[in-house]
């Protein structure tokens, strides 16, 4: 078992790649009552065109299969829903699907191993029939309609549609009522057998565990399955340009919602963590709660509350998103572009840079206080080819000159979009 220690947060990471290809990551937390486990597959809503290992022809499946599959995994042949079984044990269980991975999880203080029996059983034993697949279409159809009426989701999704021509990140994770109508049990089994192979999965466990012991408990519950070959994922080519610089939708909202999207280049493997850190610092210096720019907009009533600042990336896309509420969203956008231009011309203020860099570092450290934050972070980063400790190590390499250079690369007005949700 490989052991990686980070002295900054005094944490140890134990990593073991099993014979069947499953990677298990264990972060012990001696003395902590809460235990957390998350089991993920490197399979998300973006993966709708692929070549199954051993086959030559492309497989194309409808949009929304990864999310549909996640919903169906809890239902067992016995008629019992595994989520109900786990809840009865007093554990908090859930699952989620993103653009690039699907995950199943639970947390508890007691009954961890009883829950582990059920948890590892249902993830390894799918049960799909014509009847239960049809029934699920109605349930997911209602979820899709709910998200269609959710302004915060629509303003985000529209940002993706304005930025991306072809990349599937612009597609709703749930699919549409039309696309899910084409899903059947054969499609679900094919996607399960392709993407839920142990060699395409990772498990993160965090809590008061002895690494060797918990690893053996996992091994004892694994179904015998050998690693398959590489799954060839096929994504359309994506030009560097945006689709349109503005997109607007009318919904019933008390205040207008805005989302500023900035399409970024995909960083190379060695640069992605460092670039991510620099962009986090940059956006927080520019538009964070303590920035002069934010204070001006807040004081004159242009914006309400602190905007949400995110940077999202995989090896196929990268973008920054700034979103919030305003009665004058176009004014926010124009002022933001002007502030970005000023940053390119003058560079960042050194004191502001150092202060925000310390704040970002503090937030990284804080994540290690919570078993859920740790586990979700290590899983998501693992599928990006990153060890989460790298953020703690590489922040020292991010200086003001590097961040100013990233500002010149990122703040290209031709790569910026504005998504608006206004009142009907």
Residue-wise pLDDT for 230-275, tens only, equals 999 999 999 999 999 999 999 999 999 999 999 999 999 999 999 9
* pLDDT, tens digit, 9 for 90 and up, residues 187-225: 999 999 999 999 999 999 999 999 999 999 999 999 999
Q: What proportion of the chain, given as a percentage, has pLDDT over 90?
A: 94
Please report, for the chain, the start and end positions of each structural domain, with discontinuous segments joined by +. 2-233, 246-423
Residue 347, classed as helix, strand or coil, is coil
Show contacts of 385-388: CB within 8 Å, 24+ apart.
Answer: 385/269, 385/315, 386/272, 386/273, 387/4, 387/13
Whole-structure pTM value: 0.94
Residue 424 has pLDDT above 90, yes or no: no
Topology annotation, domain 246-423: Cytochrome Bc1 Complex; Chain A, domain 1 (3.30.830)
Rg (CA), the chain: 23
pLDDT of res. 89: 96
Give the whole-angstrom CA distance, residue 48 versus residue 169: 11
Verify whether residue 230 is a known catalytic residue: no
Tens digit of pLDDT for each residue in 124-165?
Answer: 999 999 999 999 999 999 999 999 899 999 999 999 999 999
For residue range 348-404, what is the model confidence (pLDDT) as tens digits? Answer: 999 999 999 999 999 999 999 999 999 999 999 999 999 999 999 999 999 999 999
Residue 213 has a CB neighbour count (10 Å cut-off) of: 9
Active-site hit among 11, 63, 70, 118: 70
Residue 168 has pLDDT above 90, yes or no: yes
Residue pLDDT, tens place only, 39-49: 999 999 999 99
For residue 319, name the pLDDT band (cuts at 50, 70, 90).
Answer: very high
In 165-269 the beta strands, taken as DSSP E runs, fall at 201-207, 232-233, 246-251, 257-263
CB neighbours of 170 closer than 8 A, spacing ≥ 6? 157, 160, 161, 163, 164
The dotted CATH code for 2-233 is 3.30.830.10
The two structure tokens encoding residue 358: 């310390």
**For residue 305, what pLDDT is reported?**
85
CA distance 348 to 279: 12
**2-233 and 246-423 agree in CATH topology:** yes
The whole-chain average pLDDT of the chain stands at 96
Per-residue pLDDT at 304? 84
List the one residue out of 171, 319, 312, 311 whose CA is nearest residue 236: 171
For the cut 90, the answer to whether the pLDDT of residue 109 exceeds it is yes
């Amino acid at each position: 078992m490989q052991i990686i220690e980070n002295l900054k947060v005094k944490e140890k990471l134990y990593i073991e790649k099993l014979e069947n290809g499953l990677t298990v990551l264990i972060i012990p937390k001696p003395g902590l009552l809460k235990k957390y486990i998350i089991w993920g597959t490197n399979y998300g809503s973006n993966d709708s065109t692929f070549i199954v290992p051993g086959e030559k022809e492309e497989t194309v499946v409808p949009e929304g299969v990864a999310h549909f599959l996640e919903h169906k995994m809890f239902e067992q042949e016995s008629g019992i829903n595994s989520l109900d079984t786990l809840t009865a044990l007093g554990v908090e269980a859930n699952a989620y699907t993103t653009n690039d991975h699907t995950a199943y999880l639970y947390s508890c203080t007691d009954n961890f191993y009883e829950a582990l029996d059920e948890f590892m059983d249902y993830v390894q034993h799918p049960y799909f029939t014509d009847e239960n697949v049809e029934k699920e279409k109605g349930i997911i159809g209602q979820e899709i309609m709910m998200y269609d009426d959710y302004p915060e989701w629509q303003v985000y999704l529209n940002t993706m549609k304005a930025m991306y021509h072809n990349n599937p990140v612009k597609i709703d994770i749930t699919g549409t009522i039309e696309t899910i109508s084409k899903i059947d049990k054969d499609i679900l089994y094919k996607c399960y057998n392709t993407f839920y192979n142990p060699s395409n999965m990772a498990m993160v466990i965090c809590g008061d565990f002895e690494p060797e012991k918990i690893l053996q408990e996992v091994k004892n519950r694994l179904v015998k399955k050998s690693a398959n070959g590489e799954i060839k994922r096929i994504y359309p080519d994506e030009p560097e340009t945006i689709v349109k610089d503005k997109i607007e939708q009318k919904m019933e909202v008390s205040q207008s919602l805005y989302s500023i999207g900035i399409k970024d280049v995909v960083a190379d493997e060695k640069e992605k963590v460092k670039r991510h850190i620099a962009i986090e610092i940059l956006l927080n210096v520019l538009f964070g709660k303590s920035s002069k720019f934010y204070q001006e907009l807040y004081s004159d009533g242009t914006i309400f509350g602190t905007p949400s600042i995110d940077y999202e990336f995989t090896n196929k896309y990268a973008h920054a998103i700034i979103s919030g509420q305003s009665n004058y969203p176009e004014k926010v956008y124009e002022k933001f572009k002007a502030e970005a231009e000023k940053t390119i011309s003058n560079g960042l203020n050194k004191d502001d840079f150092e202060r925000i860099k310390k704040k970002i570092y503090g937030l990284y450290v804080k994540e290690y206080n919570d078993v859920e934050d740790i586990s979700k972070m290590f899983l998501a980063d693992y599928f990006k080819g990153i060890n989460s400790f790298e953020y703690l190590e590489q922040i020292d390499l991010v200086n003001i000159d590097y961040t100013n250079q990233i500002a010149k690369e990122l703040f290209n007005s031709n790569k910026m979009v504005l998504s608006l949700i206004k009142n009907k």
